[in-house]
Structure 1
Amino acid sequence: MLVRFAVLYNASSYGEVVQCALGRTAKVLSEICIIVNNAGVLVVYLIIMGDVMSGSLHHMGVFDQWLGHGVWDHRKMLILLVVIVFLAPLCALDKIDSLSLTSAASVALAIVFVLVCFSVAFIKLVEGKIEAPRLCPDFGSKKAILDLLVVIPVMSNAYVCHFNVQPIYNELEGRSPQKMNQVGRITTLLCIMVYISTAVSGYLLFGKGTESDVLTNFDKDLGIRFSSTLNYVVRIGYILHLVLVFPVVHFSLRQTVDALVFDRSVPLSESRKRSLTLTTILLGMIYLGSTMIPNIWTAFKFTGATTAVSLGFTFPSLVALRLSHGGQGLSLGEKFLSWLMLVLAVAVSIFGVIGNIYSLKSQSQ
């Protein structure tokens, strides 16, 4: 529906579609949501890289296992090195189609990660080395129930890519709403398969000991042949995956910041100096955020309950319902889906925020 209305109203970005339906104020609000959401996701990526390379509280990092503890596995230094050497050159690119090869490579690495996890889980299952997992959630306390509700907004982070739809559509060869819908459906199906496979195989392998950043679990013997090699393949492969997908998320972040701050200036693609300046500032702020936020769960809980839900469910449903009154009618099924999305978005936000506040109070006590 976003693509359909973007074409009808000649909108070139997510914010412009929102403005057509809900006005200038809503556009600014949606752009702020994109900035907070994408910055939060990129901070999470750097935290994961730091966890894998230098280790976390209960798990050893790759460099610590290879070379022992020393200055070379200092978390902040390693993250800064990755930002400068690998991420900055990719993030400096001007067009999203320049990242097509890196995006394809990142998907391939994610699939390799899933295949390795599933293969290890299957081998251990056949050999009878896996304990029966708990299949039902714990409802024994109010905290357990709220923790379960917080999982829903965290999961919503995984499916929020709506702000990238319009930039991709703008550079799509032979573009049409039908072709973009097909691309979106294939991508969504692939993501669902990867996410489910990762969750199932990870929980089968590590059970109650599964960390919020499951990659940190791959620092111990998996109980099969070539365990050490597979551990390194999984962790290093996923770091490369994050390095390659990082610039795609950063692209929409930079475009949105430019649209919000330099609204009346020439397009960002025509100002190389402004593009590089924004890239440098954003990477610096994201790096600082990754050094201050303790873990990925903290970041995901808040972005999931607020900005991710707004971008993925609230704004799209409001756009569809509002513009449908302007002569572009929705079918009965589309109206039902739009209202359902809106109601679910409000419910998820309320429960997510309440759960986050309760969790913070519990930790402070």
Structure 2
Amino acid sequence: MGTNYTRISNDSFVELQLHDQIDSPTEKSPQNPKKVQEFDDLDEFDELDKLAPGFGPNHDFGSGLYGAVFNLTTSVIGAGIMALPATMKVLGLLVGVVLIFLMGVLSEISVEFLIRFAVQCKANTYGEVVENALGKTARIVSEICIVINNAGVLVVYLIIIGDVMSGSLRHIGVFDQWLGNGFWDHRKIVILIVVVVFLAPLCLFDKIDSLSTTSAASVALAVVFVLVAFVVAFIKVVEGKIEAPRLTPDFSSETAILDLLVVIPIMSNAYVCHFNVQPIYNELKDRSPEKMNKVGRMTTLLCVMIYASTAIAGYLLFGDDTESDILTNFDKPLGIKFSTALTYIVRVGYILHLVLVFPVIHFSLRQTVDELAFEGRGPLYESRKRCVALTVVLLALVYIGSTMIPSIWTAFKFTGATTAVSLGFTFPALIALRLSSLGPGLTSRERFLAWLMLCLAVIVSVVGVVGNIFSMQNKSG
């Protein structure tokens, strides 16, 4: 079978381009007289398809621009958004919003680094890029980071779902408010029902593009939460029920420095989605780095808007009473008309958001575990039995973790200061600095940004671990 695919060169990447005129398998394009390599049979197409799943003729699936944006945005916006208003309480409104913007910009740059060098070394997964740059051991470390980070995030999601719906020691659950006492008071039962009825069917999809519709719904639910919080905050500001917010950190507090040490890692890992960048890129219909970079920029802009809005509205609403998980602040009247209905909309809506985010985070967890346990077995989507088995095992382990651990916010902060920062900043910076010598290289500005990213990642990791250790000691003391 003859084709007219010709390899063309670019400053940074190698792409395939179809000639405008297709007359015969051997005819040269008049616009490019220098004939390069042609693909003359299906075996060569098969090799291309193995290298770049979804690109060859054997697969007609693929996501569009907005489907990729929704999937990547859903990877970013999870439970971490609920902690942002509490960071405003520590950082102050002005400093907090500036940091949200700066961290978003740095995260977008690190995503572009990751895509650029993944294409350069023809890698299909996060681990493969790391291995090309830093070796086999580093790949294993990066994949372990993904497993720890994503498993911890999923356990947190289930704990939040259980606490909000069934209640906890400090907060009444939605079911209790609706139905009174009953079997739904038991968090383990509620979580099990959610896992079996809602999460398992979504997690069984073997391609992340299949989740683009649910990802769009999850982003919409997050926007609903932001709108409700903003409307309530605006009404209370007009009625004079909200005090003027603090704009900068309050260093007069005895625990000010310690609070800053704990908050900084939370802010820095808010945009970590890098474990899903490569799977989303692999399933794009237009598999070009430029297209994925556009996906990254649109995602960053959307997330910055949602994060800043949530942080501002949440802090204005509850001030110094803002809790580490602001969702728990909505279990009491808000002081305006229809506040009871609004609290239900916020809590139930965000629980549905987490249910739809869960399978997107689970996708990269399952893929990474498969790479660690079944290296060399071929793509996971080619083995339905392996996909189902891994899904069932991982869901069971995450469920057990959520029922055995009453609250893992402290552990979540530790993973945020270590695995999340490593995945979002440390590894991308090291990849760029190491692989730049093998390709077109980095500009002086890009090299500066890579070193800045690496230094900040190390500082945040050290500061986060030290801060959490001292915080635990203070609470126990």
Q: What TM-score do you get using the length of structure 1 for normalisation?
A: 0.97
CA deviation profile, 1:134-162 (whole Å, cap 9, x unmatched): 33333346643122122111123321101
Match of 1:210 among 315, 322, 326: 322
Aligned to 1:134: 246
Q: 2:267 aligns with which of 142, 152, 155?
A: 155
2:227 is matched by which residue type in structure 1? L
**Offset of 1:58 from its aligned partner?**
2.2
Give structure 2 stretches of 5+ with no counterpart.
1-112
More off after superposition, 338-347 vs 152-161: 152-161
Matched, 1:233 2:345: yes
Q: Which has the higher helix share?
A: 1
1:173 maps to 2:308? no
Change (3 A) 1:56 1:196: farther
Matched residue type, 1:245: V
Asked whether the equivalents of residues 203 and 362 of structure 2 are also in contact (C-alpha less than 8 Å), the reply is yes
Q: State which structure, 1 or 2, has the greater radius of gyration over its C-alpha atoms.
A: 2
Which has the higher mean CA deviation after the structures are superposed, 265-274 or 127-136?
127-136
Superposition pairs of residues 288-327 of structure 1, within 5 angstroms: 288-295=400-407, 297-327=409-439
TM-score (ref. length: structure 2): 0.74
Query: Alignment partner of 1:217: what SS?
Result: helix
How big is each residue's C-alpha offset from its partner over 1:33-85, in whole Å with a ceiling of 9 and x where there is no partner? 01111111111111211121012332211001111233222111111110111
Contact 1:55–1:216 (Cα < 8 Å) also in 2: no
Amino acid at match of 1:39: A
The yes-or-no answer on 1:42 pairing with 2:139 is: no
For residues 137 and 60 of structure 1, what CA distance do their matches in structure 2 show? 32
Please point out which of 53, 60, 64 is paired with 2:176: 64
1:152-210 CA-partner distances (Å, limit 9, x unpaired): 11123321101111110100111210110001111011111111111111111111221
Count of residue pairs brought into register by the alignment: 365
- 5+ residue gaps, structure 1, are none
Structure-2 separation of matches of 1:137 and 1:105: 36
Q: How does 1:182-197 map to 2 (within 5 A)?
A: 182-197=294-309
What is the CA–CA distance in structure 2 between the aligned matches of 1:204 and 1:295, rounded to whole Å? 26
Does the 8 A contact of 2:172 with 2:331 survive in 1?
yes
Match of 2:115 in 1: 3
2:124 corresponds in structure 1 to 12
Contact 2:268 2:421 in 1 (8 A): yes
Q: What is the RMSD of the two structures over their aligned residues, measured on CA atoms?
A: 1.4
The one-letter amino acid of 1:81's match is I
What residue in structure 2 maps to residue 276 of structure 1? Answer: 388
Higher RCO, Cα 8 Å, sep 6+: 1
Please give the alpha-carbon distance, in whole angstroms, between the structure 1 residues aligned to 2:346 and 2:273.
25
Instruction: Assess if the C-alpha contact under 8 Å between 2:130 and 2:138 holds in 1.
Output: yes
Is the CA contact 1:155–1:304 (under 8 Å) kept in the aligned structure 2?
A: no
The 1-side partners of 2:401 and 2:277 are apart by: 27
Shift of 1:268: 1.1
